[in-house]
Structure 1
């Protein structure tokens, strides 16, 4: 008796599955050959379907190309926007944004090739330039705020945003084919140039808050607020926390749902026994650097200033008082404080030099 073998038919794809397959095939072909070089025949053959199936889903090659571009545009924009949207200081945001672009290039190479290649009919001015403009707008907002806190002209933020975004984007296009060194190293050098400038370049920069960015692993990064408290005689309040040996400013870690300002007001109230509202604090910028008391730890600090009526410390007025984890307080002039050797890096390297140079004034 003759044996017959029934041919096994492949399971049919759903409409959603077929559409996703066609987009994947088209993405690879558009990245390799461009919009003009890739044909509907190529796309249909790559997906194992007939040309009418492609037209049924997308109507035209240009419509398919536009969908591929829009998908990659939104994917990259979302990654960079998320990196820039963190509640962190500018150094951390710069590291995150540079790394996120290179990470996208590494994991979505075809998508990036398409973004920097041909513009779809819907965006004749260029997809990549449109994307960079969107990112630059986010960066401008961050820089304008940072410039204002440092006494610089906020309106210059737009120009500097173009410089930063352009530098990162051009480096990304170069790395698309170079791929050496690795993305963490490239991102670290981008941050090195933009953060330190040509005159302050480090020989072997590393990403200080991204896992794998440092030899032996990245350090812990603590997000916190610190408050520079002044009295009426121009002195500042130093505090030492229980179990530590360095003096610093009142402040502490952000709790879930808090921003830097809210955390600053809460910490001052808890540690000094005061009733301070957020509106009483003046924003004086951010600082990113090593922690005072924890090894392999960096802090990303929101900085604020508080002016109290004072003078305090003579015993005539008990407020503010050491509370919570504060074990010791000192009222010193900036010069007296600068002469000490038991200060936190933030106070020693950032706040006191600004005070002594007359750059950080108590709020009026």
Structure 2
């Protein structure tokens, strides 16, 4: 949390905070100007530091670039791996994978530009091609099993995996700048072509399943091949911890379940920006988006709305020792601190807490 002194100046960032800030600033500049076009002077000026500070953290511009690339590589690889690793049929997995890539492009545009444009010096063959190769191996495994169940040669799964991944990747690169139609519509058309083929194209295809692991929107006849599915809310949630390792649980007015502070994204906001704003509005605390630890994404049922799922950006933040305590504000009616193990014993938690965050914390 950032506090101001009597003179109005902000305290010095910790090393971790400064490193995160430099990575965030550099990501935007590398995406805009490329590796060669962005200079250390540009990065230092945008971050409000001197050049030696950048060198102290990363050694060189190439070192900083490699750090940014690795973060985005791992982020996108995780998103795609999770979309392909659920226990579901191949059509569902194709839907989820197509949607997951477009969702990443929408929310991490700068990262995708970097991955698809410049190869880092340490990986001249290209980061994006390396990532696609790893994803293709997963798709090949999925298709080989499907072909085997249909009496077809499993060996051709590798060839079809290349075709499918290449089609989705090229469409994603096109959609990076086009952004129309929306990602769900583009994903539906991708699946329409890959699953139905040119001879069986549907005029107005829809995603028949939730574009996330484990949650399907089934059609009225129960076959999972139609229907628009539940409503999806995009929001951010923050796991607030204190220096004793406890986590903060909040309950919103008119509801019965405890959850994390957070709320819906406003137009033009990133997940991190929404998370920082919600901490201020709901708890009266000041935190910068760059100070939040990115815990990834989660799809699942909403805690208090029927037939509704949430597409959540997850973050963590530790309340510095000696800082003011959070206070219930806005729509928060009750808050309490609890050790993770004690929280896990409760039966009045949101699915996000009980099914994802607490199991992850308790390991």
Name the TM-score, length of structure 1 as normaliser. Answer: 0.58
Instruction: Show CA shifts across 1:159-200 (max 9, x none).
Output: 000000000000000000000000000000000000000010
Deviation at 1:153, TM superposition (A): 0.6
The answer as to 2:63 corresponding to 1:63 is yes
Distance 2:150 2:206 in 1: 26
Q: Which residues of 2 match residues 1-364 of structure 1 at below 5 A? A: 7-210=7-210, 219-220=217-218, 290-291=221-222
C-alpha displacement of 1:10 = 1.3
Ranges in structure 1 where 5+ consecutive residues have no aligned partner? 213-217, 222-288, 299-364
Over 3 Å counting, the alpha-carbon distance change for 1:292 and 1:142 in structure 2 is closer
State how far apart, in whole Å, the 1-side matches of 2:58 and 2:38 are.
15
Indicate the larger mover: 111-120 or 6-15. Answer: 6-15
For residues 296 and 187 of structure 1, the distance between their equivalents in structure 2, rounded to whole angstroms, comes to 15
Distance 2:91 2:81 in 1: 16
| Distance change in 2, residues 1:292/1:6 (3 Å) | closer
Q: CA deviation at 1:8?
A: 3.0
Residues matched between the structures, number: 222
- Does the C-alpha gap of structure 1 residues 292 and 107 become closer, same or farther in structure 2, counting only changes over 3 Å? closer
Distance in 2 (alpha carbons) for counterparts of 1:297 and 1:151? 33
Relative to structure 1, the CA distance from residue 165 to residue 292 in structure 2 (aligned partners, 3 Å threshold; closer, same or farther) is closer
Deviations 1:233-272 (A, max 9, x none): xxxxxxxxxxxxxxxxxxxxxxxxxxxxxxxxxxxxxxxx
The one-character-per-residue Cα deviations of 1:102-157 (angstroms, maximum 9, x if unpaired) are 00000000000000010001111001100100000000000111111111110100
TM-score by length of 2: 0.58
- In structure 2, the gaps of 5 or more residues are 230-363
The CA RMSD over aligned residues, in Å, is 2.5
CA distance in 1, matches of 2:60, 2:227: 56
